[in-house]
Each structure stands twice: as structure tokens, then as C-alpha cells.
Structure 1
Amino acid sequence: MRSLVVTEFTSLDGVVQAPGGPEEDRSGGFTSGGWLVPFFDETLGARMVDWVSRAEDFLLGRGTYEIFAGSWPHAPEEGDPIATALNTRTKHVASRSLTDVGWSGARLVAGDVVEAVRALRAQDGGELQVHGSPGLCQTLLREDLVDELRLVLAPVVLGPGKRLFGDGITPGGWQLTDSQVTPTGVLLLSYRRAGDVATGEMEVAVRS
């Protein structure tokens, strides 16, 4: 079995919508598109190259697929490992509305998405990576199919917007396996799934 890894750019209050530009996703009246751009630096860029380079293939929701397909095929691949990975590796697209995908290497997920993802995850091989795709990610988290979370946590609060965690998420523990702070104050965090939620009781010190 291989790892299903979710990578998300997120604000302090959990918004993951449209980090890369004002017109990326205005659904729901979202007006803060491009909120990550002021914090993007060489440190964050290098970490993204490292993470994306580990993918054997990608799993994308419809919205993220359409955003990626509208830009990455036109990006020069020479000297850009992220463009090379996205343009040359398989992209599984989870959508109930698309009937065709034109990006080279893209294929629609057939049948029930959850069962299809279970089958992909059960294969041998490298990382199956999800980027963006908040609706799909909520489904995967509800079904406890996510093995690793990689979060790019920006020091900004956005208010309304699409979030990574929604109602019905399966409770569980997560172990921090790696962390880094960029010069712009972004936290780069990696978590591995770590069993059930652990509980306890705080002890109150009694002073005489």
C-alpha cells in the first residue's frame, strides 16, 4: 500500500481557497484570492519542489484540475521540476460533471470516487498526491483515506472561504513529522496519521 498525501496552502483560520491569484476561485463571493503570494519566497518554493517531486501520480478535484490545466501545460518545463511533474505524470481527476479531460496524462476517475481511491491507494508505488481540491479532501478525510498532511500555514486570517476540514471529518490523531519556518513567517508542516484521538485529564497543582 502506498501513501495518499494531501498538500494544502491554508490560512490561520483554515481557509484554503484561491491562494494563488485574485481570479483563481471567486465562488461564494470570495474576494481574497492571491492571499499566499505576499508570503511566497525561495524557502517555500524549494519545499514545494521537494514535495511535488516525490509524487508518482496526482489526484485532483474538478476545480483544481481546471485551474492547473489552464496554466501548467503552458509553463516551460526546463528548469521547473513542478511543471515537469505535473505535465508528465498521471493525473486522476475526480469529477461528476466532466466528461472529458484534455491535459496530457489526465484521466477521469470512473465509478465511485471513494472506492476508486481505495484501489489506487492499495497499489504498490510512490506517493499519490492531492493538491488543493478542498471538497475532495473533505471526502477523503471523512473516509480516513489520508496518510499524510502537508500544510503551508500562512500568517493571515481570511474569514469566509472554503476550508480543509468540514463537518463529518473522522476524528483521529496526527503526528508532526517535520516542521520549518520560512523567513516570511509561513509554517511548513508535515503530519502522519497516528491512530485514534488520545484523551486525558489536566492535573491542577495544589499549593499549600
Structure 2
Amino acid sequence: MAKLTLTTFLSLDGVVQAPGSPDEDPSGGFEYGGWLAPFMDEGMGQFMIEVLDRSAAFLLGRRTYDIFAAYWPRVTDPDDPIAGRLNPYPKSVVSTTLEKADWENTTVVSADVAEEVARIKERTVGGELQIHGSGTLAQSLMAHDLIDEYNLLTYPVVLGRGRRLFPEGGLPTAFALTGTRTTSKGIAIHTYRPVGRARFGSVDD
């Protein structure tokens, strides 16, 4: 059975909406798309390559799928460290509106998402089942404790608005830090493993 991992970019105030470009996701009147661009550096790229080197299959939300499918199939170099994995490896896109997926080796998951993701984890071998971005999907899977590891790339910027990774009303969860590094432009990269429900007490004890 594969480990299900989430790799995502977020601001200091937890926003994950539209990190890559101004027109990526303007829903809710969000005007700050492309906020990670000024901070891209070699350290970020190297970390992403390391993550993708561990992949065996991918699980994507509809919006992330549309963004990836519009670009990566056009990168045909099999030695490209990203396209060489995204294009040939199995992909599942979670959507209630997409009838079929044109990107090679992609299937559509439209119902019983938590149960189907559990089945995909069970049958994936040889590496990780990876979620990239896909904040809405990630939130739905957090509610079922299905994500085994979080790679959070936190950028040194506060946005003040936008969709956040951890929603109000989410499950109180404790995590163990399993890896950390900082890039030259100040991206703090932390890897966390859930270790159960959060615990509470008094600092005077």
C-alpha cells in the first residue's frame, strides 16, 4: 500500500489559492494570484524533484488537473524530471463534472471519494500516491485522516485573504516534524506526519 502525501505551497497566513499565476484561480474575487513567483529559487526546484522522484501515482483535484493537463503533456522529453513522471504515471482526478480525462493514464473519480482513494492507496505500489496543490480535495481527505504526510512549502508573504489549507471546523490533529529546510529566498519547507488527535492541557502543569 502506498503512502498518500500532500505537497502544497502556502503563504505565512496559510493561503493556498492561486500560487502560480494571476489567472489561476480568481474565485471569490481573489486578486493576488501568482504570489509565489518572486520567491522561486533553486532550492524549491530541487525539493520538488526529490518529491517527484518518490512518486508512483498522482491524485488531483479538478482545478489542479486542468492546470497540469494544459501544460505538461506538451513537455515530451522523457528525461524531464517533472513531465517524465506526470505524463506516464497513473493519475486520478476527483471531479463531479468531468466526464472523461484526455491526459494519458488518467481516470476520473466522481463518487465515494474517500472510499475510492483508500482503494487507490491500497493498489499503488513502488512509491508514493501524491497530491499536488488541490486544496479542496486535500481538505476532504483530511476529514477522513487519509493523508499520511504533508510537505508544506511556506513562502515569506502575507496575503490577508484567500482560501486556506486548514479550514475552520477541521479535525484537531497533532503532527510530528520529519524534515525541514530553508531555501535561499526564504521558503521554509517542512514535512509533517499526522500522529493522532491534538491533545490539550495547561502550561502550568
CA RMSD of aligned residues (A): 1.5
Q: In structure 1, the residue corresponding to 2:56 is in which secondary structure?
A: strand
Is 1:59 equivalent to 2:64 in the alignment?
no
Choose 1 or 2 for highest CA Rg.
1
Choose 108-117 or 126-135, whichever is displaced more: 108-117
- CA apart distance, 1:190: 0.3
- CA apart distance, 1:27: 1.5
Percent identity of paired positions between Structure 1 and Structure 2: 46
| Corresponding residue number in structure 2 for 1:71 | 71
Q: In structure 2, the residue corresponding to 1:168 is in which secondary structure?
A: coil
- CA apart distance, 1:94: 0.4
In 1: Cα distance, 2:198 partner to 2:184 partner:
33
- CA apart distance, 1:78: 4.8
Q: In structure 1, the residue corresponding to 2:202 is in which secondary structure?
A: coil
- CA apart distance, 1:156: 0.4
The answer to whether the 8 Å contact 2:56/2:124 transfers is no
| Corresponding residue number in structure 2 for 1:36 | 36
In 1: Cα distance, 2:27 partner to 2:84 partner:
29
- CA apart distance, 1:73: 1.0
- Give the residue type in structure 1 aligned to 2:72: W
In 2: Cα distance, 1:152 partner to 1:76 partner:
27
What's the TM-score once normalised by structure 1's chain length?
0.93
1:1-208 equivalence runs, <5 A: 1-123=1-123, 125=125, 126-203=127-204
Q: Which runs of 5+ in 2 are unaligned?
A: none
- Give the residue type in structure 2 aligned to 1:55: S
Q: Which runs of 5+ in 1 are unaligned?
A: none
Q: 1:13-63: per-residue Cα shift (whole Å, max 9, x none)? A: 111111111111111111111111111101110000000121100000101
Higher fraction of strand: 2
In 2: Cα distance, 1:21 partner to 1:172 partner:
31
Size of the alignment, in residue pairs? 204
The answer to whether the 8 Å contact 1:142/1:168 transfers is no
The answer to whether the 8 Å contact 1:110/1:116 transfers is no
Q: 1:73-131: per-residue Cα shift (whole Å, max 9, x none)? A: 11243542111111111110100000011011111115311110111123352211011
